[in-house]
Amino acid sequence: MKQLIKGGRVINPATKFDAKADVLVENGKIAAIGPDLSADGAEVYDASGKIVSPGLIDMHVHFREPGQEAKEDFESGSKAAAAGGFTTVATMPNTKPVVDSAALVRSLKKRAEDVGRVHIEIIGAVTKGQKGAELAELGDMIAAGAVAFSDDGHFDPTAKVLLAAYDYLHPFDKVIINHEEETSLVEDGVMNEGHRSAMLGLKGRPTVAEDIAVARDVLLAEYAGARVHVAHISSARSVDLVRAAKARGVRVTAEVTPQHLTMTDDLVNLYDSSTKINPPLREEKDCKALLEGLKDGTIDAIVTDHSPHAQEEKDREYLYAPSGFPGLETSLGVLLTDVYGKGLLGLPEILEKMTCNPAKILGIDAGSLEPGKRADITVIDPDLTWVVDAKNFYTRGSHSPFVGRKLKGKAVLTMVDGNIVMRDGKVE
């Protein structure tokens, strides 16, 4: 089977390729990239005026399997990923039960193969039950196919256990993805600690809780010579800490979400729990620092932290609602509107953070448009104007702070292994 994507602006950050070109796909692989390609019998897709990118990669999603399928499952989550232009995602292990064994990794990989519309990679837990007390089956999970490890949703309170994990994983060159908030400083906090939290009478989660955690975990990784990845970074001081660590040669990487880049705690509303996330929305100075971190390479990846919840869970008072919202179907539009559209970052730079960089961090063969590579491709219409409507979501979560927003830019074609899984917003 042949497909020919013609006349688009092909941006491949992995090779710094950026030019008008055609992309020929044969038997699920990229066969050729260049001007004026032709192929007898090929299905032709006209990409004139559009961006042709490697398939987007999100290294931080919550697909909720096993045990929390009322919130999301591999089928609904992968449909949402395809709708948003993502061809590969990595799902976090804070499920019920926690993904802390090789048997669970193997079963989830099989489940992903059976129902996933996109490639679903599995992240294993660092500690048993994510309790921070005893290491999980790290080596066995690697053998079963886990690409990284995280106790996401939990800050490991014992430095000794985390150091042991760094030492164990160092020979495997696998990364630990850390949720960075010192627990004793954020207990019962529901939003950023500052002027807005005081005005609303809500207990805050201070930025120093994140900063202390980042400093500790980076120092431990430096001591062990191991790899550490800072999940959903949100504090200006944390960006400075990562920047300084990279300058020292520490093997540290970091990620940021569109919401932390573009939204502040001024948007928190007691009657709308969609803005309740963890870590919380911060202040304008933090948003600016995060953008600078993206620009200078301190922050390596953009992720969604896609965290859907059941309607009845999220539709509660701000104080009691769970943290998180679905992001796979809105993230690209938000970035193209509020970052690229405002001239804050170029398309090649944004796509680098959403393709080859996360692939490199996870150690997977993806994120690049090159002959011989699997044909995971996203076509983006940067001029398409649309309104976010939860009724059109493929995810099971509906509470998003972006609902009702008019955005400019959207994925219009998603191809996985040469198969079109989304065309013009419809997942096939």
Q: Is 305 a catalytic residue?
A: yes
Closest CA to 150 of 255, 57, 47, 247: 255
Q: Which residue has the tokens 């975990």?
A: 217
| Backbone torsions φ then ψ of 301, nearest 5 degrees | -140, 150
Helix, strand, coil distribution of the chain in percent, nearest 5: 35, 25, 40
CA 389 to chain centre: 21
Closest CA to 349 of 299, 305, 385: 299
Whole-angstrom distance, CA of residue 259 vs CA of residue 265:
11
Q: At what angle do helices 74-83 and 102-115 cross, to 10 degrees?
A: 60
Q: Which of 151, 156, 286, 305 is catalytic?
A: 305
Whole-angstrom distance, CA of residue 276 vs CA of residue 401:
9
Residue 30, beta-bridge partner list: 25
Q: Side chain identity at 26, as an amino acid letter?
A: E
What sign for the dihedral angle of Cα 415, 57, 126, 181? negative
Whole-angstrom distance, CA of residue 416 vs CA of residue 428:
11
Rg (CA), the chain: 21
Whole-angstrom distance, CA of residue 106 vs CA of residue 276:
33
Give 290's Cβ-side CA count (13 Å radius).
Answer: 27
What sign for the dihedral angle of Cα 58, 313, 71, 145? positive
Whole-angstrom distance, CA of residue 77 vs CA of residue 63:
6
Classify residue 183 by its DSSP letter.
G
Burial class (CB within 10 angstroms; exposed 0-12, middle 13-18, buried 19+) of 85? buried
Q: Are 17 and 10 in contact (CB under 8 A)?
A: yes
Q: Which residue has the tokens 């400093």?
A: 215
Structure tokens at 296: 């200078």
**Catalytic residue positions?**
305
